Amino acid sequence: MSDQISIPELTRKDFPLLNKEGEIKNNLIYLDHAATSQKPKQVINALVNYYSYQNANVHRGAHQLSAIATQKFENARQVTSKFIGSNSAKEIVFTRNATEAINLVAFSWGNTFIKENDEILISLMEHHSNIVPWQLLSKKIGCKIKFIGITKNGELDLEDAYKKLTDKTKLISILYTSNTLGCCNPIKKLTEMAHNVGAHILVDACQTLAHQKINVSELGIDFLAGSSHKLCGPTGCGFLWSKEDILEQMPPFLGGGEMIQDVGKYESSWADLPHKFEAGTPAIGEAIGMAEAMKYLENIGLEKIKNYENKLINYLFNKLITIKGIKILGPKPIVDKNRAPLVTFNIEGLHSNDIAEMLDASNICIRSGHHCCQLIHKYYQINSSARASLSFTSTVEEIDIFTKTLIDSIKFLKDNS
């Protein structure tokens, strides 16, 4: 690991909370990056600068301040387009988050192109944001949802996907990286499978965008949903990407100001892409901050981040498997194979909330609960789990402290149960 230590050494100084400038100053160890990432000062400064010196509504004003805000906002769209390798900034629709992006596809594209008895294929490992919208659509129009299973190793069962894919399948909607199992799904193979039966594919990339490079053109997918707060950007902002010809065919998701061309008494016409999907005043400062976060990640180098985090998760995994009574969900990390930098686990005889509370008493932040993935927990016949998730700012020293404190906490809880 010594050759890679320079990454956190170079970056931690940019994160106020990790520099103990926040309210908690006693050696905080933040291992909850999969829930939300910390924000570097470059992102925070971009937000402060916008609200301090550039604050105006976009697109509507003739005055110079509005022109500046519009330029910054639309530049954020250009940055986002480049970050994921799309062909045009017109293919980037800003949303409140990835959940809204998936809902946009469900209730715009889905309502238009999916019919009764058509099929949508998703997996058991999906986040609730990629399950509930399809359930709502299914109840509304009578389409059917099928679930791809998982293997004994905790990875997507590709053979099961082949079996469940039919000429009735209109959409595969799947996460790129599981926030619970940590596995990375074979998106190129799934895309090929979908297109072979005339189906589209939507990829939830929330747990991937901050950890490895994604190029939508190379993947050949049809939709991608992303979230700012998972990639060191502000909360309340995300985006949908889709091919321009697909977006042109889709009706607006929300109606109101900003998304119109002309409004009459009984009919209206829509603005050009991507604005017909962005009703009302957008999260301007947040979009600018998200773009700054993307530039920050690219300045570090996503390939460098991936390689460092891959070694770090192997180190964490190998420390945890020595703990008596631990059960880890998902596949074992393999050097040079993509896997999310997280470990989800249970300790025999202990509740995950008790473990998290004990660690919190030592200023170590992990996640406990079902992580918005109840189907996976039902599959494993457990109610909850604990999850430690890393980033490029995490260190070997933090992992050592975490695992030692975890072992001490387990002993204390068992001795006092």
List b or e across 372-407, with b for residues whose CB sees 16 or more CB atoms inside 10 angstroms. Answer: bbebbbebbeeebbbbbbbbbbbbbebbebbbebbb
Q: Which pLDDT tens digit goes with each residue over 269-285? A: 888 899 999 999 999 99
Q: What is the pLDDT of residue 26?
A: 60
Q: Which pLDDT tens digit goes with each residue over 356-388? A: 999 999 999 999 999 999 999 999 999 999 999
Contact 217, 87 (CB under 8 A): yes
Closest CA to 29 of 322, 374, 363, 386: 363
E-strand stretches of 107-244? 119-123, 144-148, 169-175, 200-204, 223-227, 238-242
> Which DSSP state fits 329?
E
Q: Which pLDDT tens digit goes with each residue over 142-193? A: 999 999 999 999 999 999 999 999 999 999 999 999 999 999 999 999 999 9
Q: What is the pLDDT of residue 2?
A: 47
DSSP 102-145: HHHIIIIIIHHH--TT-EEEEETT--GGGTHHHHHHHHHH--EE
Give me 126's structure tokens: 């999906």
Q: What is the pLDDT of residue 162?
A: 96
Domains along the chain with CATH numbers = 2-35+301-415 (3.90.1150.10), 45-298 (3.40.640.10)
Contact 98, 129 (CB under 8 A): yes
Q: Which pLDDT tens digit goes with each residue over 325-342? A: 999 999 988 755 778 999
Q: What is the pLDDT of residue 269?
A: 87
CA dist., res. 371 & res. 342, Å (int) = 12
Give me 210's structure tokens: 């901050």
Closest CA to 223 of 200, 245, 207: 200
**Full-prediction pTM beyond 0.85?**
yes
CA dist., res. 106 & res. 108, Å (int) = 6
Half-sphere exposure at residue 87, Cβ-oriented, CA atoms within 13 angstroms: 10
CA 86 to chain centre: 18
- The CA-CA-CA angle for residues 247, 106, 271, to 5°, reads 35
Closest CA to 91 of 238, 245, 291, 215: 245
**Is 386 strand, coil or helix?**
strand
Which residue in this structure is represented by tokens 């977006």?
Answer: 247
Q: Output phi, psi for 347, to 5 deg.
A: -110, 125
Q: Which pLDDT tens digit goes with each residue over 119-135? A: 999 999 999 999 999 99
| Residues whose CB falls within 8 Å of the CB of residue 371, separated by 6 or more in sequence, listed in order | 34, 127, 179, 180, 344, 385, 387
**Other CB atoms within 10 A of residue 365 CB:** 18
Query: Which residues are known to be catalytic?
Result: 372
CA dist., res. 238 & res. 228, Å (int) = 5
Crossing angle for the helix pair 41-49 and 284-300, to the nearest 10 degrees = 150
Give me 83's structure tokens: 């970050």
Partnered with residue 223 across adjacent β-strands are 202, 242
Half-sphere exposure at residue 357, Cβ-oriented, CA atoms within 13 angstroms: 8
Q: What is the mean pLDDT of residues 289-303?
A: 97
- The CA-CA-CA angle for residues 389, 292, 208, to 5°, reads 35
Q: What is the pLDDT of residue 259?
A: 81
Give me 127's structure tokens: 């986040």
Q: Which pLDDT tens digit goes with each residue over 72-93? A: 999 999 999 999 999 999 999 9
Give me 406's structure tokens: 């975890």
Strand order of the β-sheet with 119-123 is 92-95, 238-242, 223-227, 200-204, 169-175, 119-123, 144-148
**Is 14 strand, coil or helix?**
helix
